[in-house]
Structure 1
Amino acid sequence: MPEDPLERLLSHSSWMTCLTDLQAERVRQAISIVSFAAGTTVCARSTPSAHWLGVMDGMLKLENISEGGKSSSFASVPAGAWFGEGAVLKGELRPYEIVALRNSQVAFLPRDNFLSLLEESHPFALWLIAHLNARLGHYVALVQNFRLGDTVAQVAYSLSGLFNPALFPNTERCITISQEELGRLAGVSRQVANRALQELQERGAIRVSYGSIEVIDLHVLQDLAREAA
């Protein structure tokens, strides 16, 4: 019998071990699951942050679009990851648009349930603090990496960041993503991303295929992401 997708996500979510059996069951009952086709909007910008989101399958991106229509992607979220806790904690309007990069299934945990866990479970609260600290560290490193101006390091970081064990513990080694989209995430053009990927491939970190990138040696990729520093 195939594994239930929600149970698969929850079984790989380390925060679930912080909960009592009753709390865990409340989470299961509260979650709603929605499927999205590639390219469709999961959550629009400036709408209420009413849910904490978990990616059951596929991949999402966080982006903003300028008044002139230019799209700027600043993060991608692979399967197995939970995100959006900052906006949920503050109760603010969502500051970015969430779009499905490919066909995706998303778990929606209502804000009230999320806040109840935070209030009732000291272990969950400690987990969330560590999670937010890991996310802060990830973005500080991202800004540092981008300011150094080494495009190969920028592309390497955008890829290796998807394997951050605290934020994205279940990323598959073969990532379905276009070079154009990776370029947006890395803040470079598709042509620059292509040249960087070729260099990363020559150095044994990745293997590039049409529409996908396979990470061959994560340690090498991480070293190259830090090389400019």
Structure 2
Amino acid sequence: MEQKTRVLRDSFDRSYEAGAVACHRGDPADHWLAVIEGIVKVDTASKEGRVITFAGVPAGSWFGEGVVLKDEPRPYSVVAIRDSRLAFVPKSTFLWLLEQSHSFSRYVIDQLNARCGYYVGLVHNLRLHEASARVAFCLAELFNQQLYPATDKTLGFSQEEIGRLCGLSRQNTNRAIRELEDAGLVVAEYGSIQILDLAALRRFAHSGD
């Protein structure tokens, strides 16, 4: 009860319109974050302006534990893909919970392990340079139960939002989704995309391995 009381007392939430930056690259990592509503992407940009999307984070998911633990500037930006609301837990409260709660420490360890596996897969996927495989990977990884426990098989994303999530142009995203539809993996509807075969979608994401 003491732990819950402190988290509720110390934490706060903020709302962001689609396209707004919630956290800038280089900012102090002073908070552990959660998406209450909407979806955000974690990305960075090269000096030449090329944007690389590391992850999409849907509602019901926590993120940013690694950079809080490392005590260094945030190496990525957090951008709202659609209108979103985020929760902010102060770093001091996060670290206090780690010391006070064995179950919370176990949860954070599992988060870090799942995050590491995700980024290994992401780096490999980016090297495939196939838009359809990249879209398949981004969609399939939204169903990682450790990282994103609340994802539904019907994703309320427009194709434009999927493109932002994957770091692809709208044209390449549309072409990739048509390929996934032709393979019987998804069905795209207005403002949403339904996953028909998650296991096959994951295999397709790694088809160039």
Structure 2 length normalisation: TM-score? 0.89
* Number of the residue aligned with 2:141: 161
C-alpha RMSD of the superposition: 2.0
**Secondary structure at the counterpart of residue 118 of structure 1:** helix
C-alpha contact (below 8 Å) 1:31/1:110 kept by paired residues: yes
Indicate whether 1:113 and 2:96 are aligned: no
1:184 CA drift (Å)? 5.2
* Number of the residue aligned with 1:91: 71
**Secondary structure at the counterpart of residue 163 of structure 1:** coil
Deviations 1:164-208 (A, max 9, x none): 111111113333444455345445443332222112112222111
Q: State the alpha-carbon separation in 2 of the partners of residues 103 and 166 from structure 1.
A: 24
Unaligned residue ranges in structure 2 (runs of 5+): none
Larger helix fraction of residues: 1
Q: State the alpha-carbon separation in 2 of the partners of residues 140 and 101 from structure 1.
A: 24
Q: State the alpha-carbon separation in 2 of the partners of residues 226 and 91 from structure 1.
A: 34
**Secondary structure at the counterpart of residue 93 of structure 1:** coil
* Number of the residue aligned with 1:137: 117
1:217 CA drift (Å)? 2.6
C-alpha contact (below 8 Å) 1:65/1:72 kept by paired residues: yes
- Counterpart code for 1:117: L
Indicate whether 1:146 and 2:147 are aligned: no
* Number of the residue aligned with 1:223: 203
Q: State the alpha-carbon separation in 1 of the partners of residues 130 and 142 from structure 2.
A: 19
Unaligned residue ranges in structure 1 (runs of 5+): 1-20
**Secondary structure at the counterpart of residue 127 of structure 2:** helix
What is the aligned length?
A: 209
Q: Percent identity?
A: 47
* Number of the residue aligned with 1:195: 175
Q: State the alpha-carbon separation in 1 of the partners of residues 13 and 165 from structure 2.
A: 27
